[in-house]
Amino acid sequence: DAEITQSPRHKITETGRQVTLACHQTWNHNNMFWYRQDLGHGLRLIHYSYGVQDTNKGEVSDGYSVSRSNTEDLPLTLESAASSQTSVYFCASSVGRRAEAFFGQGTRLTVV
Amino acid sequence: GIQVEQSPPDLILQEGANSTLRCNFSDSVNNLQWFHQNPWGQLINLFYIPSGTKQNGRLSATTVATERYSLLYISSSQTTDSGVYFCAVGGGAQKLVFGQGTRLTINP
């Protein structure tokens, strides 16, 4: 079955380290998104992509970057992890302009 | 940008009760989805409903786009319905803006 998967599911890292979270989808969706979920803030958009080589900043993009070299993957990189980036991260994908989005299982990241 | 408000923020019910969750949004939208986040943190798609009414078992949803609101109805609640329900909307772009959610607790 087509799906969207995130890895790792849990990660603990130290302040200042570079961290990359993976997101892979097999639906051939052109749209991919990264959100973070924090208590009291719901889900907020970090970065998104509408296709290969396209990336855009979302509401809370500082300290994060993404790249889209193929349709299936949108890795999220924390350049220098900070304790404020401790959160649960969700990846999502959708096809087209008016289409349902589907979410991965989430990655719980702890920065110590 | 689009603002999304959900109400109530918390709802505690007994098993078997019915409930209505509301989502108000500040601008016209092309996309509206309802999600259930279960106790394990998974986001489960409930409805894709930018307009109109849909039903799926004990759950149904209605979106009145011209009045900028959507309602999620849960009938005959079960303990497995507990969790957080999110409304998310999209305007001209494909990205979604989420509400703060409604935390539903169903007691046996």
B101 min Cα distance to partner chain A (Å):
7
Contact assignment for B97 to A100 by CB distance below 8 Å? no
Q: By the 8 A CB rule, do A34 and A76 touch?
A: yes
B3 min Cα distance to partner chain A (Å):
12
A106 interaction partners in chain B (CB closer than 8 Å): 41-43
Contact assignment for B101 to A35 by CB distance below 8 Å? no
pLDDT of B92 reads: 66
Tens-place pLDDT, residues A41-98: 789 999 999 999 999 999 999 999 999 999 999 999 999 999 999 999 999 999 887 7
Q: Which of A31-40, B6-15, B88-97 has the highest mean pLDDT?
A: B6-15
Residue burial A77-95, b: 16+ Cβ < 10 Å; e: rest: ebeebeeebbbbbbbbbbe
Strands A10-13 and A107-111: parallel
Residue A2 pLDDT greater than 80, yes or no = no
pLDDT of B75 reads: 97
pLDDT confidence band for A39 (50 / 70 / 90): confident
DSSP alpha helix (H) spans, B2-107: none
Residue B25 pLDDT greater than 90, yes or no = yes
Please tell me if residue B58 touches chain A, with a CB cutoff of 8 Å: no
Residue A1 pLDDT greater than 90, yes or no = no
